[in-house]
Structure 1
Amino acid sequence: MRFHRPYISTTAAVIVSSLGVAAYQHVPEKLPAPAPGTASAVQDAAGPAVQQQPAAATAEPRTSVPPPPQYPARLPGLGPRTLARIPAGARQVVLVTGTGKKSAVSRVVLYQRVDGGWRPGEVWAAHNGYRGWTDEHYAGDLHSPIGVFGLTDAGGRLADPGTKLPYHRSGAFSISGAGIEGEPLAGAFDYVIAINYNRQPGTSPMDGTQPMGANRGGGIWIHVDHGGPTHACVSLSKAHMRQLLRALDPADHPVVVMGDAASLAR
């Protein structure tokens, strides 16, 4: 019997004879030997390589937590007489500080009672009475009264901007004409907060009740600034009025402490 010469591939050999397929045999490819001196050759000679253990992870550095801010235990710039007039339950104080006894320029800061201290807000520019400040205010004297007064009621010509105070919206808050220095007054009562000087708390700012009598003046508000001094009120920009209205909370029993710096320091 004569066999034909088999054909052999690199991966398999098939032996064919006249009787048909005699056998099938898998022939693995033979890989070339590694060159002497290479890592593979050294590994083959030394046996299987020992798997290296991963290096221990470096511990993350601990981040120190900054201590909570320390707020002043007492309101700055206020003397013992003024501090004694602030109710113990007041946790919000609108501090209005005039630059001088006869000045119509002042600054306003809202303080919030936090963790036994007083957290200050932003400093806002403001106007007060044309002739400055007085300890004994009378109607038409063009002074703002010095003292500590509650802030319980708000209102204005525009819609409530989101205050927690009772808010009375009315067209009666419209005003026109010119201020003491000729500046237009339009929009000055878009937002108002009644200062509880010679008024009945818990009523609209428009309520005209004056418990101390009409000669002691009334209708003293924090309202929108019109670019000049007031008759007796305190005025802030419209944006700051919105901020103040949104911040005040009856649950914190807000008050305004107002006067020139020297008087408040007593």
Structure 2
Amino acid sequence: MASSIDCPYRSRHRAPSRSGRRSGGPVRVRGRAPWPAAVLVVLAALTGCGASTGTAARDTPAATAPEGGPSDTARTARGRAGAGAQTRPPARLPGLGPRTLAWIPGNARQVVVVTGLGRDANRSEVVLHQHTGSGWEAGPVWPARNALRGWTDDHRAGDLRSPIGVFTLGDAGGLLPDPGTELPYDQSDGFSVSGRGLLGEPLEGSFDYVIAIDYNREPGTSPLDLTRPLGADKGGGIWLHVDHQGPTQGCVSLDKRHMRELLRALDPDLHPVIVMGDADSLRE
């Protein structure tokens, strides 16, 4: 579902991080003026759960595809992490096959793996893997939810499926104050949401914490930014956010305490990515 409403958050300026760890890096962007209630209700109903007009994020394949890797068409449909990434895949990660591994940038030292329980299922499991220098260490398994109708290789606005692929994670935000993340964090009333979800469950609090998944969006902006490089028909507003006890429109949702833990764990210096899809697809 597309919308003609223009998002009031358009600034792409970022100042140095308050931590001082990344000279010239982005800063947490603090609150914006409250949005009109009517705008918030419409945004909550848009595809991908997030504040989106149903468009898509920049899909920038690696400089060179690995030998025997997916075609350009497949990479565009399934999603890739950033341009210029090393083409050599990391050491094997549990549940990921050679094609999926080939899409993970060689510099990624944090990999969030979202494994759907079935192609058409809306339940998932999430594990954060971090490279220690000698190998990968897996965190706890967290239960999660994804889109109502499961997963797709070719996400479209309003299809109620989550996109399969590998995407960078670089921007966060939420209605609540920064819980202590190293990611740029936009605390804003723009994350207020009300109304009911797909099964009639209340949506309030769903966007208390949000991590933008770089599917059809402009990295380096607030999750509220509506820029969609691939166009409106490719969907957008795909986030990690707080579980509202029901399936999403395209996002991945976690318990609130797990969202806080994930936000505190992710470090942009470790080039975090998310690998997401149903179990069979990820084993390819």
Q: Is the aligned partner of 1:254 residue 2:272?
A: yes
Whether the 8 Å contact between 1:74 and 1:117 is mirrored in structure 2 is no
> What's the CA shift for 1:124?
0.2
CA distance in 2: counterparts of 1:149 and 1:115, whole angstroms: 22
2:186 aligned partner: 168
| 2:200 aligned residue (182, 187, 206) | 182
1:265 aligned partner: 283
> What's the CA shift for 1:122?
0.6
Q: Is the aligned partner of 1:99 residue 2:99?
A: no
Q: Which has the larger radius of gyration?
A: 1
Q: Secondary structure at the match of 1:152?
A: strand
CA distance in 1: counterparts of 2:230 and 2:251, whole angstroms: 18
> What's the CA shift for 1:74?
1.6
| 1:158 aligned residue (176, 181, 206) | 176
The aligned amino acid for 2:98 is P
1:242 aligned partner: 260
The aligned amino acid for 2:188 is S
CA distance in 1: counterparts of 2:162 and 2:91, whole angstroms: 28
> What's the CA shift for 1:73?
4.3
Describe how 1:1-266 pairs up with structure 2 within 5 A: 73-266=91-284
CA distance in 2: counterparts of 1:160 and 1:244, whole angstroms: 12
2:42 aligned partner: none
Q: Secondary structure at the match of 2:139?
A: strand
The aligned amino acid for 1:131 is R
Structure ranking higher on relative contact order (CA contacts 8 Å, 6+ apart) = 2
CA distance in 2: counterparts of 1:246 and 1:146, whole angstroms: 25
Q: Secondary structure at the match of 1:244?
A: helix
CA distance in 1: counterparts of 2:118 and 2:281, whole angstroms: 9
Residue-by-residue CA offset, 1:72-112 (whole Å, 9 max, x unaligned):
94211111110000000000000000000000000000000
> What's the CA shift for 1:115?
2.8
CA distance in 2: counterparts of 1:85 and 1:214, whole angstroms: 25
State percent identity of aligned pairs. Answer: 68
How many corresponding residue pairs?
Answer: 195
Instruction: For structure 2, list consecutive stretches of 5 or more residues without a partner in the other structure.
Output: 1-89
- Greater percentage in strand: 1
> What's the CA shift for 1:116?
3.0
CA distance in 2: counterparts of 1:95 and 1:118, whole angstroms: 13
CA distance in 1: counterparts of 2:136 and 2:161, whole angstroms: 29
Q: Secondary structure at the match of 2:190?
A: helix
CA distance in 1: counterparts of 2:239 and 2:91, whole angstroms: 29
Divergent runs of 4+, >4 A: none
How well do the aligned residues superpose, as a CA RMSD in angstroms?
0.9
2:75 aligned partner: none
CA distance in 2: counterparts of 1:116 and 1:206, whole angstroms: 37
CA distance in 2: counterparts of 1:128 and 1:111, whole angstroms: 20
Whether the 8 Å contact between 1:73 and 1:116 is mirrored in structure 2 is no
